[in-house]
Structure 1
Amino acid sequence: MIFDYNSIVSLTSFSRWEYFVSLDFEWSFLTRRKKLTWPMVIYLMGRIMGLLTVFSVIALFVILGPIAPIVASPQQSSSIVGRSETDRLQSFYTLATFGSYSVTVFATMNLGIRAMALYAFKVKVVILLVVLILCQWTLVILAILIFTAILDTTITLLTFWKLLFPWTKRGRLVDRMMEDGIVYFLLVMFVNVPAAAFISIVPGIMDTSIHFPAALASLMISNRLVRRLSNFTTTTSSMFMMTPRLQFASPPVTSETGTVYKKPTRAMAPPPLTPPEATHSSVHTVGSIIGSHREECQV
């Protein structure tokens, strides 16, 4: 075992603490302080899958006992802990394995959406990343981790290219990503690449014992990136971090510079036309005043 009992308990405890501490973000959607958009649906699905994976690993390591027998051989484990216990461990092991792999896909999707936003959702970039993410989902079913590391590296390189070599005028989103967003891309890549390399170099070792910590860490990092950029608003179409244009229903959104962005409303109706009678009367009144003033001057 690469990660012993204490390491797994510590990691799952930290992930649960991080989950409950950030629950106010989900609560803001229920109270309609923030508007739910499709990038947030992916974020919430990743959070739910991560929580289910954590509970399955807790049941596997803490409630049902050590997992070492089933790792070596299911036939051998049936003679050690019994057939029914082995089937129960196998079901939790399958859920934990699929959950840890799918969690990495949700983390990659969070990063991919932010990379698409940097390129203002250009069709070529969107098609490229969508095809790669679909391939990643296909390979997750086959429990192949190396593709996740390659895809995370590709997204990080695309983000670096946009941030370091802007061919057009920099927007506020690019400046914000340069300040603190790129760190999360690097952390996700540095978490997944060593895990994939270690599993590829050392065959026969249990993937979940290595991949689960890496997957959970990458999900927490990408979720923190989503929350960091959720309060950033721009009027351009490249901002799908939270919602288009506005992420709050009420009150108006205020950027870091203090500029208030109000929700677009219907065009203001033109001022009512002055009735002809009122116009003539006003002209007549002004004319009479001017005429009387001239008479006084002549006198």
Structure 2
Amino acid sequence: MVNWKSPEEIEMDSTIFLKVMHTLLGLYVWEFFVSLDFDWAVLTGKTRFRWPLTFYFAGRYLLLFAMIGIAVALDTPIEINCQALYAFNQLAGNAAVGLASINLSLRTIAIWSQNTSIVILLVLIIIGHWSLILQGVLLTATWLPDVGCAITYSNTTILAATFIYSMCFDFCGTNGAPTRLVRMLFSDGLIYFFIAFVSNLIATTMMVLNLNAIMSVIFNVPAAIASTIVASRVVRRLTNFQSSGPEIM
């Protein structure tokens, strides 16, 4: 039987956490740069900027900054304010998850042709989601000599509720009328929803198990990255479709 709270296990989990975070940073930076042409097209006016793209850009860049912050926390050789840095990382990462859900909800709005009732319902769901995201700092981190920044506590109750809410939120809007746009968004949506749902489910399961402070949050970053990547691809697909056809938003 593994003693998840033993110093030896926590040290091993910390090593795994470090390697996983570096791998995920590489993955997200790769995804970020291979899709940078879309960002450039919007910034240079080649692709028309629409207000929903605000959520797209905010989610992409907040998660990038959070990943850089995690890398700094894990790699810095000098003592820093770990609590402040991890507070930023957590808030930026959770905001990226919330923005990913908003981006996926825009797909729902497009499917339902901006139906007023659907828009109002989604706005209410978004408000509820962000009321959890903005609960405050749910992690405690401290500087340890020869180790660096280490997570010593995590409030798994609020974190788990946030991710469960995200899964339910992302489930919205998988139906619609059989138009060309809806067929594209529906087929994409099933794939993207499955990826986001599974990644959030794994993260939630680990938080509920609460094995130790590190294992409780180790899958949060993979879930945030998966949700952001698939939501960003939905936005790019929808925007490119609209650029070659009738506008919807």
- How does the TM-score come out when normalised to structure 1? 0.65
Inter-partner Cα distance in structure 2 for 1:182 and 1:220: 15
> What secondary structure does 1:35 align onto?
coil
Correspondence for 2:34: 21
Structure 1 position 158 matched with structure 2 position 172:
yes
Correspondence for 2:220: 211
Inter-partner Cα distance in structure 2 for 1:232 and 1:41: 18
Structure 1 position 192 matched with structure 2 position 203:
no
123, 128, 145: which one aligns with 2:159: 145
> What secondary structure does 2:173 align onto?
helix
Correspondence for 2:246: 235
> What secondary structure does 2:219 align onto?
helix
Inter-partner Cα distance in structure 2 for 1:235 and 1:191: 34
> What secondary structure does 1:4 align onto?
helix
> What secondary structure does 1:230 align onto?
helix
Indicate the percent of aligned positions where both proteins have the same amino acid: 28
How many angstroms does 1:64 deviate by?
A: 4.5
Count of aligned positions = 212
Instruction: Please list every run of 5 or more consecutive structure 1 residues that lacks an aligned counterpart in the other structure.
Output: 66-84, 241-299
How many angstroms does 1:199 deviate by?
A: 0.2
C-alpha change, 1:204 and 1:133, in structure 2 (3 Å) is: farther
How many angstroms does 1:156 deviate by?
A: 4.2
Inter-partner Cα distance in structure 2 for 1:64 and 1:108: 36
AA aligned opposite 2:100: A
Structure 1 position 226 matched with structure 2 position 235:
yes
Correspondence for 1:34: 47
> What secondary structure does 1:205 align onto?
coil
> What secondary structure does 1:153 align onto?
helix
Correspondence for 1:126: 119
Instruction: Please list every run of 5 or more consecutive structure 2 residues that lacks an aligned counterpart in the other structure.
Output: 1-12, 139-157
C-alpha change, 1:88 and 1:156, in structure 2 (3 Å) is: closer
C-alpha change, 1:51 and 1:198, in structure 2 (3 Å) is: same
- Structure-to-structure mapping, 1:49-198, within 5 angstroms: 49-64=62-77, 85=79, 88-142=81-135, 143=138, 144-160=158-174, 162-163=175-176, 166=177, 170-198=178-206
AA aligned opposite 1:228: R
How many angstroms does 1:203 deviate by?
A: 6.1
- Structure-to-structure mapping, 1:243-262, within 5 angstroms: none
